[in-house]
Amino acid sequence: MKNIITLSLLMLLLSCERPSQKYLTISEDILRDKIAGGWAGKMVGVSYGAPSEFVYNGRINEDPIEWSPETLRTSITEDDLYVQMSFMMTMDKYGMDASVEKFGEAFVNAGYMLWHANRGARMNIWNGIKPPMSGHPDYNLHADDIDFQIEADYIGLMSPGMPQTANKICDKIGHIMNYGDGVYGGMFVSALYAAAYFENDIKQVLYNAMKSIPIESQYHAILRDVINGYKRNPKDWKKTWHEINNKWGDSDICCALSEFNIDAKLNGAFIAMGLLYGEGDFEKSMEISARCGADSDCNPSNVAGVMGIILGYDNIPKLWTGYMDKIADSLFIYTDYSFNIAVDRTLHYAKKLIIDNEGKVENGMLYIKEQKSVPAKLEISFPNTTPKEKVSISDEKYWEWKGDWQIIQQPNQWDYEEKQKQADKKDSEVIFNFVGTGAVLLGRFDLDCGQIDIFVDGQFFRSRDNYYERMDWGAGDGWLNGAHLAHVMNLDHGSHTIKMVITGKKNEKSIGTKLKIAGAIVYEKT
């Protein structure tokens, strides 16, 4: 009898030590409603904030925000939606496990405009620099920009309660165009979405999402600053805004020394502020995020997407979704996706991911194997780097010109003009002399640009083709193609040179071999 009792106790102890399988459960109908809420929120938020996008740089928007139900139609033309739908269309065509090269091709060769990190990746891939190096800071000075952050929603939408799954997909897609904090922005947003399916407490949603990014990152640091500001001033978001802006407002590397800030982490802070100070109210959350300024359509779009999942489509106030029936089957430009199709395809992929990650779909119910958040590995794009000075092409002490260089006043259709120096003859060259730890030469990619060789401190660095194909509206014109022609960072502090030489070669599509230079930015270590 004693042996039987001992054996029974031993078996009980062993069963207690064996990890139990925990599942999150949700009905397919509720999951669909929350997916619809997420996509609808994304559309509402971007249409709500679009008129003020980058109008309020480094300042709070105190002006009236006008929105009517019909405004929702403008979301059909927003890059916040159609770019990420390109990735979903790639999944439709090649499967969820399609190679990263296929995902890169999806948006690189699409017919729409791209900006900042996305455009940097497009140029890199056209120049043979494939993912993940296309987003790496050695090749893309926009590595920490907002691009992936605004197009990662679909990953969180199809990863309900699965933050590890979301991070794995983000790691693959995000490095096409970003690195470090730029990738963490997408991880943070997708983790917010993943958490929002099963958590109504907005503070807990935020805390859970933060677990997906490394605590040592600056992105995590700025979110902690938002939380601490909220704790000090829970009823006054503007005080926290000023604290954040004073500390982080000049953190942008690619658009250095200007109030324009497209850095992922600053805009991510404005997402967090909208969620915290919005206190679970759909409109209030969206409005605060929009009034923070900077990328004021993308940030409330992310916020409203998260709130849309928490509430579910049917519980979003009808003011915001009342017009949806009129456009639910309208295709987003450059895609074969409508709102209704996006909801259907997201549900399809969510069910597939649930099953692929040891969950189950049975009798209209979904059983999601619980995942604990695991932070991504630490990446730092530009360690301890800060902008030192912006240099005009008119400041001759920095420049040496060889060949026939002409000063051109470059106009564009948006009343912006930029003075440039241009040359097109083989062996024409320019040398930029600077003191610091890094620099970028600014200029233009365009239809009539050719190939150049780049040298750093007298040593060959790399070649690049500055031809940029016209894609629909404006995609080869004016300031929209303002470009980083060459950059080098993390040098030893001291005197350095960057030289660019026209090779006389060109892309077969180019109508010229021009090199267009507008200025430079010099960086140093903090």
**Residue 98: DSSP 8-state:** -
Confirm if 266 and 220 have CB atoms less than 8 A apart. Answer: no
| pLDDT recorded at residue 405 | 97
Show me where the domains of the chain are located. Answer: 23-59+79-369, 385-525
Summarised one tens digit per residue, pLDDT across range 22-50 is 999 999 999 999 999 999 999 999 999 99
pLDDT at 9 over 60: no
Q: Average pLDDT, whole number, for the chain?
A: 92
- CATH homologous superfamily of domain 385-525? Galactose-binding domain-like (2.60.120.260)
**Residue 112: DSSP 8-state:** S
**Residue 331: DSSP 8-state:** P
Confirm if 87 and 173 have CB atoms less than 8 A apart. Answer: yes
Reduced to 3 states, what is the DSSP secondary structure of residue 421? strand
Reduced to 3 states, what is the DSSP secondary structure of residue 354? helix
d(CA 436, CA 157): 44
Q: Choose between 481 and 265: higher pLDDT.
A: 265
| Average pLDDT for 132-137 | 97
Reduced to 3 states, what is the DSSP secondary structure of residue 460? strand
| pLDDT recorded at residue 11 | 40
Residues above pLDDT 90, as percent of the chain: 84
d(CA 483, CA 487): 11
pLDDT at 297 over 70: yes
Confirm if 59 and 293 have CB atoms less than 8 A apart. Answer: yes
d(CA 5, CA 30): 47
| Average pLDDT for 54-71 | 94
d(CA 373, CA 76): 33
Summarised one tens digit per residue, pLDDT across range 415-467 is 556 789 999 999 999 999 999 999 999 998 888 999 999 999 999 999 999 99
How confident is residue 256, by pLDDT bands cut at 50, 70 and 90? confident
Q: Please count the other Cβ atoms lying within 10 Å of the Cβ belonging to residue 490.
A: 14
How confident is residue 412, by pLDDT bands cut at 50, 70 and 90? low
| pLDDT recorded at residue 480 | 52
Q: Please count the other Cβ atoms lying within 10 Å of the Cβ belonging to residue 343.
A: 22
**pTM, to two decimals:** 0.93
**Is 32 exposed, middle or buried, given 0-12, 13-18 or 19+ CB atoms closer than 10 A?**
middle
Return the CATH number of the domain spanning residue range 23-59+79-369. 1.10.4080.10
| pLDDT recorded at residue 112 | 85
